[in-house]
């Protein structure tokens, strides 16, 4: 592997003609669809059945992405998602949501960052127009929206001949499992100066091997964790530090002694035992929070969010430290909503949840988590109303005495929110988001 091969990037998609604005112009580029399937989609659009055509293309795209991810092994996918219920016998079609599929595909280089963004935008459109609410309100998918959806699907998924995880990622993964890297390796140095996104993925890959690997793969993974962790720890996002602590707890609970020893050694080097959860309560909170976030990005979220937010709320306002970030993120995504609106019933419940969060926990989230919270930053960057809503929350939770506790990038964001400066909030959020991915 050359020094330039470490950092993986997904393909930039097939080149569609700049003036391609009809299904007839775009769909022929979908190599993964048969001629008959292409013809059906074009006919659907010509007949005005834009929703049928768009949905069909969307489904085929998601199936293709999941098929690519499956090549890495469903157990690995489960580890990357932090879902222990996914194992080698799981049907990935049944458990992976569209949002998770797109996010993971972007993370593992099946699609590039632009493709990830475009497909997430398309997901938001399609989940809105296929929801009960849109049906009740008599809203229909327009030709423009339909073209937006099929354009993203064809360019980044269905137009590609071979769609698989980035070769560089596969090579890196193999190398992490098959050799013990040295500090002087150029790949190590390159990774240390990479954006958060890459570092996070490497840490997740190594932790997944620690939790389920064996033999030489396990030994190499543990050695590499012990190499990387002290170097990465000072700048490591809080969620990733918790991931290491939680992995240590899990392998110890399962009696995987070799893995427990290796992770313990790594945590000793960085003094990271504060990130080992004391009880299993945090697991319950995190699971409930993840359910809210999954529902938010899935179909009919207007209706599915309220009961799930209610479940999270009922667990109690004393959120265990390992679950604080996930819970606040869950509440925020519901309050900020998506491009099409907010589930107001869920948002009212989420506001109660935010109000119940202790001030020091909220400051912890602002300082340590929000600069790397891709989900919330994305909303603050691209959803018009989100900045204003965020500003209201911050004004409510951050008192004058707390301002001095705000640090770094979080300070800029929070101060903009306290001033009610929505454009500035968007600007800072976008800058933080770009820093994560480039």
Partner 1 sequence: MTAAHPTVSTQSLRDHVLSNIEGVLWRESFPKCDNAPIGILTIVDAVAAYHEEGKELYPRVLITTDLDGLLKSVPFAHKIEIRRANITSREFPDALKLCAPLATDGWVIFMEIDTHTDQIRSGLVSLELSETSPTFYRQVFGDLSYDTGIPTIYIANIGKRVVAIDGRSGGRLVVSLTLRDHATQAVNHVQELARVISFSCEDDHRDTVENFVTKLLETGLRDCHGALIAVVKDDITAIEILKNSLTDGTYLEDPIDTPGHLKNCEAERTPEAFTRARLFADIVKNMLSFDGITVFTNTARVLAYHCFVKDSGPGSGSTGARSRAYEAMIGSNIFTCCFCRSQDGDERIWESK
Which residues bind to partner 1, rule: CB under 8 A?
84-85, 87, 212-215, 248-249, 252-261, 264, 267-268, 273, 276-280
CB of 253 to partner 1, least distance (A): 4
CB of 308 to partner 1, least distance (A): 22
- Using left for φ > 0, alpha for ψ between -120 and 50, and beta otherwise, residue 390 falls in alpha
- Closer by beta carbon to partner 1, 259 or else 417: 259
CB of 175 to partner 1, least distance (A): 21
- State how far the alpha carbon of 128 is from the alpha carbons of 80, 101, 135, 293, 299, in Å: 27, 18, 9, 16, 7
CB of 215 to partner 1, least distance (A): 6
CA-wise closest residue to 25 among 114, 118, 143: 143
- Closer by beta carbon to partner 1, 255 or else 423: 255
Specify the DSSP element, H or E, that contains 314: helix 301-314
- Closer by beta carbon to partner 1, 255 or else 400: 255
- Closer by beta carbon to partner 1, 270 or else 398: 270
- Closer by beta carbon to partner 1, 165 or else 263: 263
d(CA 397, CA 376): 17
CB under 8 A, 24+ apart: contacts of 29-34: 29/154, 29/155, 29/158, 29/159, 30/57, 30/153, 30/154, 30/158, 30/159, 31/158, 31/159, 31/160, 31/161, 32/60, 32/64, 32/157, 32/158, 32/159, 32/160, 32/163, 33/57, 33/60, 33/158
CB of 250 to partner 1, least distance (A): 8
- Closer by beta carbon to partner 1, 283 or else 300: 283
- Take residue 316 and report the two structure tokens written for it: 């109690």
* CB within 8 Å of 401: residues ≥ 6 apart: none
CB of 273 to partner 1, least distance (A): 5
Specify the DSSP element, H or E, that contains 337: none
CB of 284 to partner 1, least distance (A): 14
- Closer by beta carbon to partner 1, 211 or else 379: 211
d(CA 75, CA 83): 9
């Amino acid at each position: 592997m050359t020094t330039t091969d470490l950092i993986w990037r997904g393909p930039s998609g097939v080149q569609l003609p700049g003036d391609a604005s009809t299904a007839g112009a775009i769909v022929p580029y979908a190599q993964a669809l048969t001629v008959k399937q292409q013809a059906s989609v074009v006919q659907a659009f010509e007949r005005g059945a834009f929703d049928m055509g768009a949905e069909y293309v969307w489904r085929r795209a998601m199936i293709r992405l999941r098929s690519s991810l499956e090549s890495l092994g469903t157990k690995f996918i489960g580890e990357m998602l932090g879902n222990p219920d996914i194992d080698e016998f799981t049907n990935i079609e049944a458990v992976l949501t569209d949002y998770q599929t797109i996010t993971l595909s972007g993370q593992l280089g099946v699609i590039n960052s632009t493709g990830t963004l475009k497909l997430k935008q398309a997901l938001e459109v399609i989940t809105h127009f296929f929801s009960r609410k849109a049906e009740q309100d008599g809203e229909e998918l327009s030709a423009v929206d339909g073209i937006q959806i099929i354009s993203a699907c064809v360019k980044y998924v269905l137009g590609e001949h071979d769609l698989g995880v980035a070769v560089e990622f596969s090579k890196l993964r193999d190398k992490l499992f098959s050799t013990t890297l040295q500090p002087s390796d150029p790949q190590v140095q390159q990774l240390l100066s990479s954006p958060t996104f890459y570092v996070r993925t490497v840490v997740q890959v190594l932790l997944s091997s620690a939790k389920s690997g064996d033999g030489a793969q396990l030994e190499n993974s543990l050695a590499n964790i012990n190499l990387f962790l002290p170097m990465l720890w000072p700048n490591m996002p809080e969620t990733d530090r918790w991931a290491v602590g939680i992995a240590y707890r899990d392998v110890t609970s399962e009696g995987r002694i070799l893995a427990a020893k290796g992770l313990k050694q790594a945590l000793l080097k960085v003094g990271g035992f504060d990130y080992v959860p004391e009880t299993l309560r945090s697991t319950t909170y995190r699971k409930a929070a993840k359910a809210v976030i999954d529902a938010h990005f899935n179909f009919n979220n207007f209706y599915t969010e309220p009961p799930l937010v209610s479940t999270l709320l009922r667990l109690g306002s004393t959120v265990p430290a390992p679950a604080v970030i996930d819970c606040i993120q869950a509440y925020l995504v519901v309050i900020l909503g998506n491009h099409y609106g907010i589930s107001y019933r869920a948002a009212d419940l989420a506001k109660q949840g935010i109000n119940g969060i202790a001030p020091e926990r909220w400051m912890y989230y602002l300082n340590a988590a929000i600069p790397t919270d891709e989900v919330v930053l994305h909303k603050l960057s691209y959803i018009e109303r989100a900045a204003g809503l965020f500003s209201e929350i911050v004004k409510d939770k951050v008192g004058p005495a707390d301002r001095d506790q705000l640090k770094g990038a979080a300070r800029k964001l929070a101060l903009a929110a306290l001033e009610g400066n929505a454009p500035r909030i968007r600007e800072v959020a976008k800058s933080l988001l770009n820093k994560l991915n480039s």
